[in-house]
Amino acid sequence: MSRFKKGFLRFGAAALSALMLSSCDTHTAEWDDTLPSPVTTSALPTVSIVTTETTTTEEITIPTRETTSRTAASSTTPELATTTNPPTDPIDGTTAVSTIPGVPRIPLSEFTSTTPSAITTDTSSLTEPPQSYSTAYDSGTASVTEGTVQVVTTLPDVADPFAPYTAREEIIRPYSYKMLDNEKYIYIYDAIVTAVDRRRTDITFSDVMGITADDYLAVYQQIYNDEINMFFIDPKIQYAIQSSTKTVASAVLIYKHSDAEITRMENAIEEEVNRVLEGVTPDMSQYDIVKYFHDYICENVVYDDKADNCNNIYGAFVNKRALCQGMAKAFSYLCGKVGIETLTVTGDADGIAHMWNMVKIGGEWYHIDPTYDNAESTAYGRYVRYDYFCLDDDTIYSKRNVYDQTYEYPRADSERCNYYVRNGLVGGDWDEIREILTEQVVQSAEERKVTAQVRCADAEVYDEAMDKLFGLSEKQAINIMNDALTMSDNKFRTDNISYAYDEGTRIITLYLDYTN
């Protein structure tokens, strides 16, 4: 995770001398909160720097939620599908509970047939999942067989990410389903999704598939993470093991809500999603649409670790309160509606669990994080960040790790759609940094925006720019703000300059505090 820090520059008419006042590292991501007033210990002007480490974390554990103040991402562990109340084997054998990473496996022999009545012993009443299953994305056209899961084909890539984009057919299955190359996993996946679509609570599995407990857990976890519209399935799972083969014979699906409540929630989600989609116009490019969805989430969804449904799209779209998981899923859901391919990435930033997105624009993959870019109220107003808008692997993975999946994430090698690259806000040396910042301050003042930003081309340029802008010997940030002030009708303070910097993304931000 990148360290996003804030600071102040204060000065007066007298010759400048500096006193370093204080610094602190905290686990908070409130990047834009009102910065504390510097404590002046001298009659002379001072420079003060207040640093704040952003560990963007967000609660996605079950059942407890994180109780710390707002952090821009996730909890100590990702939300994992778990089991409660080991079910009784409906056939003839023992029962077992699924295991999750880091939790010791419980031997099958330790369980006895004392299962709750949730699993019926009358196997004739169970609906057998489809015996025919399709290999995901194996042909140029989608084929749908009655009782099987719909497979959405991979469409040709858009050549120009900045040309007008015609919305395509909605993407039904997630990227992870497309990547399944294991017939057993496809069979399990299709069986679970078909049962959920029909709101069934029970599934039986064919003996010939040889499904192990690990197989079932892996697929259920994938569905729980990636089937965004199935926000109502419970992370708790139940299944029964046949003692003779030690394979999964049947499973019970648990829903968080009644059928009527699920329908009400789905309708509320679609009402808001349709309202958002009305903002997509024919002249918008893929880049424009992705930015529009990114901005919608950043501007409308408040980070809240205590809100109901904060981990899913209902919390994001309807309650407008969510954690990183809810925001990432909401972004993917919107993109899927217009045929733009995305996926959710589960990993950690500085050891703290987090979820963000990858998105495919113009045939190239990028990382995008609406939680880190989430707009927050500041002393100067609200603004959406683009620090994590279309990053490549090298940048994002310099501060983050990803968790193991049943598939590999695509490579993100391009920066063509990076916000700063796209808008010409990358400086290759100090002269370019100064020029861009000056222009950005003037432009922001004309529009009464609260920030002026620049991205440094590499770490060497970043270090030089930081030293020249805020170092005790030069303080060029003061000169830039004063130069821009002479060209601006909307006046802003230059006696107290606030700034922020992110060494991971190499982005430097100056804040404008207006006086008129």
458 and 381: one domain? no
Assess if residue 329 is contained within a domain. yes
137 and 234: one domain? yes
Q: Read off the pLDDT of each residue in 109-133 and give the average, rounded to a whole number.
A: 28
Residues 246 and 212 sit within 8 Å (Cβ to Cβ): yes
Does the pLDDT value for residue 129 go beyond 70?
no
3-class secondary-structure state, position 42: coil
Give the model's pLDDT for residue 22. 27
Assess if residue 62 is contained within a domain. no
In degrees to the nearest 10, what's the CA dihedral of 234, 240, 241, 242?
A: -150
Give the number of other Cβ atoms within 10 Å of residue 439's Cβ: 16
414 and 429: one domain? no
How far is residue 3 CA from its own chain's centroid? 18
Token code pair at residue 83 = 């089991």
Q: How far is CA 180 from CA 151, 177, 263, in A?
A: 12, 5, 30
Among 255-259, 283-287, 350-354, the range scoring the smallest mean pLDDT is 350-354
Residues 10 and 45 sit within 8 Å (Cβ to Cβ): yes
Assess if residue 105 is contained within a domain. yes
Q: Assign 148 a pLDDT band (cuts: 50, 70, 90).
A: low
- Token match 């399990």: residue? 188
Assess if residue 457 is contained within a domain. yes
Q: What is the DSSP string of 395-443?
A: HHTTTEEE---SSPPPP----TT-HHHHTT-EESSHHHHHHHHHHHHHH
Does the pLDDT value for residue 43 go beyond 70?
no
Amino acid identity for residue 161 in this structure: P
Assess if residue 432 is contained within a domain. yes
Does the pLDDT value for residue 28 go beyond 70?
no
Please report, rounded to a whole number, the percentage of residues in the chain having pLDDT higher than 70: 69
Q: Of 375, 394, 420, which one is at a domain's C-terminal end?
A: 420
Q: Read off the pLDDT of each residue in 504-510 and give the average, rounded to a whole number.
A: 94
Does the pLDDT value for residue 92 go beyond 50?
no
118 and 238: one domain? yes
Q: Assign 26 a pLDDT band (cuts: 50, 70, 90).
A: very low
Q: Read off the pLDDT of each residue in 304-326 and give the average, rounded to a whole number.
A: 95
Give the number of other Cβ atoms within 10 Å of residue 308's Cβ: 11
Q: Read off the pLDDT of each residue in 192-213 and give the average, rounded to a whole number.
A: 95
Per-residue pLDDT reduced to its tens digit, 377-424: 666 677 899 999 999 999 999 989 999 887 899 999 999 999 999 999
- Token match 């802008």: residue? 469
Q: How far apart are CA 505 and CA 455, in angstroms?
A: 8
107 and 239: one domain? yes
Give the model's pLDDT for residue 472. 84
Give the model's pLDDT for residue 404. 84
Among 2-6, 256-260, 314-318, 364-368, the range scoring the smallest mean pLDDT is 2-6
Q: How far apart are CA 333 and CA 328, in angstroms?
A: 9
Assess if residue 511 is contained within a domain. no
Assess if residue 63 is contained within a domain. no
Percent helix, strand, coil in the chain, to 5, is: 30, 20, 55
> What does DSSP say about strands 82-83 and 47-50: parallel, antiparallel, or unpaired?
unpaired
Q: Assign 4 a pLDDT band (cuts: 50, 70, 90).
A: low
234 and 376: one domain? no
CATH number at residue 297: 3.10.620
Q: Read off the pLDDT of each residue in 175-183 and give the average, rounded to a whole number.
A: 92
Range of the domain at 143: 82-155+173-252
Residues 214 and 96 sit within 8 Å (Cβ to Cβ): no
Q: Is the peptide bond before 370 cis (omega within 30 degrees of 0)?
A: no
Q: Read off the pLDDT of each residue in 362-388 and give the average, rounded to a whole number.
A: 87
Residues 235 and 82 sit within 8 Å (Cβ to Cβ): yes
Token code pair at residue 27 = 């686990």
Give the model's pLDDT for residue 516. 77
Among 134-148, 404-418, 493-507, the range scoring the smallest mean pLDDT is 134-148
Does the pLDDT value for residue 497 go beyond 70?
yes
Q: How far is CA 477 from CA 125, 142, 426, 441, in A?
A: 73, 57, 17, 11
Q: How many domains does the chain have?
A: 3
Give the model's pLDDT for residue 95. 34
30 and 99: one domain? no
430 and 386: one domain? no
Q: Which helix (H) or strand (E) holds 511?
A: strand 507-511
The radius of gyration of the chain from alpha carbons, rounded to an integer in Å, stands at: 26
Among 1-15, 75-89, 345-359, the range scoring the smallest mean pLDDT is 75-89
Give the model's pLDDT for residue 65. 25
349 and 456: one domain? no
414 and 431: one domain? no
Q: Of 252, 270, 302, which one is at a domain's C-terminal end?
A: 252
Q: For all residues of the chain together, what is the average pLDDT?
A: 75
361 and 407: one domain? yes
Give the model's pLDDT for residue 115. 29
Give the model's pLDDT for residue 157. 77
Among 59-63, 155-159, 382-386, the range scoring the smallest mean pLDDT is 59-63
Among 154-158, 222-226, 437-441, 472-476, the range scoring the smallest mean pLDDT is 154-158
For residue 192, give the nearest of 177, 207, 171 by alpha carbon.
177
Give the model's pLDDT for residue 333. 98
Q: How far apart are CA 346 and CA 311, in angstroms?
A: 13
Q: Where are the beta strands (DSSP E) in 232-378?
A: 236-242, 247-252, 302-303, 321-322, 342-349, 352-361, 364-368, 376-378
338 and 443: one domain? no
Q: Assign 199 a pLDDT band (cuts: 50, 70, 90).
A: very high
- Token match 């349709």: residue? 274
3-class secondary-structure state, position 188: helix
Burial of 29 (0-12, 13-18, 19+ CB in 10 A): buried
Q: Assign 79 a pLDDT band (cuts: 50, 70, 90).
A: low
Does the pLDDT value for residue 69 go beyond 50?
no
Residues 255 and 236 sit within 8 Å (Cβ to Cβ): no
Q: Assign 197 a pLDDT band (cuts: 50, 70, 90).
A: very high
Give the number of other Cβ atoms within 10 Å of residue 146's Cβ: 6
Assess if residue 67 is contained within a domain. no
Amino acid identity for residue 342 in this structure: T
How far is residue 293 CA from its own chain's centroid? 13
Q: How far apart are CA 273 and CA 14, in angstroms?
A: 56
Q: What is the phi/psi pair of residue 222, to 5°?
A: -65, -45
Q: Assign 327 a pLDDT band (cuts: 50, 70, 90).
A: very high
Token code pair at residue 226 = 């990636």
Q: Of 209, 234, 252, which one is at a domain's C-terminal end?
A: 252
Q: Is the peptide bond before 63 cis (omega within 30 degrees of 0)?
A: yes
Does the pLDDT value for residue 314 go beyond 60?
yes
* pLDDT top residue among 251 and 67: 251
| Ranges 75-79, 83-87, 234-238, most confident | 234-238
